[in-house]
């Protein structure tokens, strides 16, 4: 069983009220791949520039991630993104986005990777996502994510990619923007009515909502104590979700477990800058947090 | 078993993007008492003016609420509050607050009401809350709520009332303001460290968090589809919580159930203007929603 992860590998500059880093390993695919690697074998499909530090590549290899799809673009520079978080750590200003090698790059599946059992396509041009989905006809579970810029510029494409995948992952703002529904419950239902096979709406610190034709699930947020850097939490969530699902049957009960694993791994990710916490995370820690999560949320039937 | 509910009975003028009402039965104690009456006998202690419509009083009597403590102040006018909700229904502008009879009124326990088994003191001057708590030494569970104005003007009193009661109920903003902690998990713990025996933090549509020295519980929000009017949802939650607890042992498991009952009843309250939905709500509907809530949130232990 192998999960394909595609998206961005980037270098991030992040400022919080408490600290800053100038050039930290980042990007949607990085976070998702590291999270998924807790559960299964991961193949990473992304573009980097010649300036990408070897040390960062070694970090990914150190977690057992297959980098045969990590493509160095000759003469290109790695994508860079900078942001500053406000005091509450829930809102941020994007300081800059340099597309670099991701400007126009179209991911192509390396030879032999058609047998990936599952796939997660982090936010990207929806045509690129659709191309990859078409190249993976036998994958038994696929998920696409998106970001605001593609909803603004290519909404029909985003909707087509969401219909083509088994799971569509969006955050709260994106769910409202795509559906025009203020209610999260209605937005989830509307995404399914618009053709998504299942919708996962990430609510940040408040957890997640899952809607499909045959299930509806609401998970509260893990009680976070010290948020050092929320960057990439959504991709971490999605990566862990798909990583767990790669090892399980795709049933409503397992999907619920996958959401809790997603929350658990994301709750670690925000404890450090960039993916630093994920680079040292152990499966035992993840299992312990899953158990805590259940202890924090369980309640009995009515007496 | 009988729950005492004290606080405001008021007449509200509410505007939402979709409708408006000019003079609707409202007030913290009204919502809490109607919610609690789903579960147990309720005594209502509040002040009204001579202008309070008999029809509104009949609505409360119709739900079996004991109005011996509903005190008509001669020559006084009932408190009035007006607000306008924004499009997202999560934010509102207060248009006016007329204290009326609640300007300086000190609630006094009617003769015979010292035997109330539990009590909920909705937001009020903390000295009034402390007075009532002192008059109920044998109540086996008490809860106080507050609002921003008392945190701004009488923070030490608010903290004293929270230490004196068994449960302190606050919303997210109030929890952060009282503790100086941005993290809800830390704020809950900080309230307990500051002397609250247990803290219930209401997160609106995102559910609630409960912290005590021996338990921590996070409940997600019920998936709300059509929010007509969120006014009083927090007091409804608190009233149902205490109403259920009046019928149960005060154990961690029953406290968790009480929180789910609180969420369930509050999810009905927002479906109508003011307390209109509560006035026709049946216990069967509440039980059905509790079961739905469990179905929406349950997940298995790790496999």
How far, rounded to the nearest angstrom, does the alpha carbon of residue A133 sit from its chain's CA centroid? 16
Half-sphere exposure (Cβ direction) of A95: Cα atoms closer than 13 Å: 13
d(CA B263, CA B221) in angstroms, rounded, equals 7
Q: How confident is the model at residue A119 (pLDDT cuts 50, 70, 90)?
A: very high
- The answer to whether the Cβ–Cβ distance between A87 and B301 falls below 8 Å is no
What ipTM goes with this model? 0.91
List chain A residues with CB under 8 Å of B297.
217-220, 297
Distances (CA, A) of A156 to A39, A133, A159: 33, 16, 5
Using CA coordinates, name the residue in chain B closest to A218. Answer: B297
pLDDT tens digits along A266-300: 999 999 999 999 999 999 999 999 999 999 999 99
Q: How near does any CA of chain A get to the CA of B224, in Å?
A: 6
The answer to whether B302 contacts A287, with C-beta atoms less than 8 Å apart, is yes
Percent of chain B topping pLDDT 90:
91
Chain B nearest-CA distance from A158, in A, is 24
Distance between CA A228 and CA B20 in Å, rounded?
A: 44
Confidence (pTM): 0.94
Q: How far off is chain B from A12, nearest CA to CA, in Å?
A: 25
pLDDT at B226: 85
Instruction: Give every CB contact of residue A159 below 8 A, 6+ residues apart in sequence.
Output: A178, A194, A195
Mean of the per-residue pLDDT values of chain A? 95
Q: CB of B106 within 8 Å of any CB in chain A?
A: no
- Residues of B with Cβ-Cβ distance to A219 under 8 angstroms: 220, 297, 299
Is B219's CB within 8 Å of A220's CB?
A: yes
Q: Give me the residue from B188, B225, B253 closest to A183, CB to CB.
A: B225
Taking the CA of residue A10 and the nearest CA in chain B, the distance in Å comes to: 29
Shortest CB distance from B185 goes to which of A188, A225, A254?
Answer: A225
Beta bridge mates, A285 = none
Yes or no, beta carbons of A299 and B260 under 8 Å apart: yes
Which pLDDT does position B217 carry in this prediction?
Answer: 97
Banded pLDDT at A87 (limits 50, 70, 90): confident
Average pLDDT for residues A62-86, to the nearest whole number?
96
CB contact under 8 A, B303 and A248: yes
- Alpha-carbon separation of residue B91 from A140, A259, B202 (angstroms): 43, 29, 15
DSSP-derived letter for residue B15 is E
Find, in chain B, the residue whose alpha carbon is nearest to that of A186.
Answer: B225
Q: Tell me the chain B residues in contact with residue A249 when contact means C-beta distances shorter than 8 Å.
A: none
> Distance between CA B168 and CA B50 in Å, rounded?
33
pLDDT on residue B78: 98
Q: What is the pLDDT of residues A239-265, one digit of tens each?
A: 999 999 999 999 999 999 999 999 999
Rg (CA), chain A: 18
Closest residue in chain B to residue A295, using alpha carbons only: B217
Asked if pLDDT for residue A182 goes beyond 80, the answer is yes
Cβ-nearest to B299 among A182, A184, A256: A256
| Cβ within 8 Å, pair B297-A297 | yes
Residue spans of chain B under pLDDT 50: none
A206·B218 Cβ contact <8 A: no
Q: CB distance from B284 to chain A under 8 Å?
A: no
Q: Any chain A CB within 8 A of the CB of B221?
A: yes
pLDDT at B157: 97
Residues of B in contact with A209 (CB under 8 A): 223
Q: Judge whether B204 is closer than 8 Å to chain A, CB to CB.
A: no
pLDDT of residue B1: 94
Which chain B residues have a beta carbon less than 8 Å from that of A87? 182
pLDDT value at position B182? 86
pLDDT band at residue A91 using 50, 70 and 90 as cut-offs: confident
Residue B185 to residue A224, Cβ atoms within 8 A:
yes
**Do B206 and A209 count as a contact with CB atoms less than 8 A apart?**
no
Within 8 A of B223 by CB-CB distance, chain A residues are 183-185, 188, 209, 216, 218
Tokens of A204: 């940040």
């Amino acid at each position: 069983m192998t999960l394909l992860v595609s998206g961005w590998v980037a270098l991030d500059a992040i400022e919080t009220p408490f600290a800053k880093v100038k050039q930290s390993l980042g990007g949607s695919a990085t976070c998702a791949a590291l999270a998924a690697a807790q559960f299964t074998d991961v193949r990473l499909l992304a573009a980097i520039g010649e300036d990408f530090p070897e040390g960062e590549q070694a970090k990914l290899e150190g977690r057992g991630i297959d980098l045969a799809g990590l493509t160095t673009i000759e003469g290109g520079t790695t994508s860079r993104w900078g942001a500053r978080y406000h005091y509450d750590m829930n809102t941020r200003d994007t300081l800059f986005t340099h597309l670099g090698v991701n400007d126009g790059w179209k991911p192509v599946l390396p030879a032999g990777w058609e047998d990936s059992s599952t796939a997660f396509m982090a936010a990207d041009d929806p045509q690129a996502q659709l191309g990859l989905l078409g190249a993976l006809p036998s994958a038994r579970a696929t998920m696409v994510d998106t970001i605001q810029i593609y909803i603004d510029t290519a909404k029909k494409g985003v909707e087509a990619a969401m219909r083509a995948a088994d799971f569509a992952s969006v955050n709260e703002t994106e769910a409202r923007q795509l559906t025009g529904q203020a209610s999260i419950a209605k937005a989830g239902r509307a995404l399914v009515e618009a053709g998504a096979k299942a919708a996962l709406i990430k609510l940040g610190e408040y957890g997640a909502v899952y809607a499909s034709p045959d299930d509806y699930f609401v998970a509260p947020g893990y009680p976070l104590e010290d948020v050092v850097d929320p960057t990439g939490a959504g991709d971490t969530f999605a990566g862990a979700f798909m990583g767990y699902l790669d090892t399980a049957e795709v049933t409503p009960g397992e999907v619920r477990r996958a959401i809790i694993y997603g929350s658990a791994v994301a709750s670690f990710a925000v404890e450090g800058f960039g993916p630093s916490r994920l680079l040292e995370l152990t499966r035992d820690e993840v299992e312990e947090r899953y158990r805590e999560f259940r202890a924090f949320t369980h309640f009995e039937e009515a007496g």
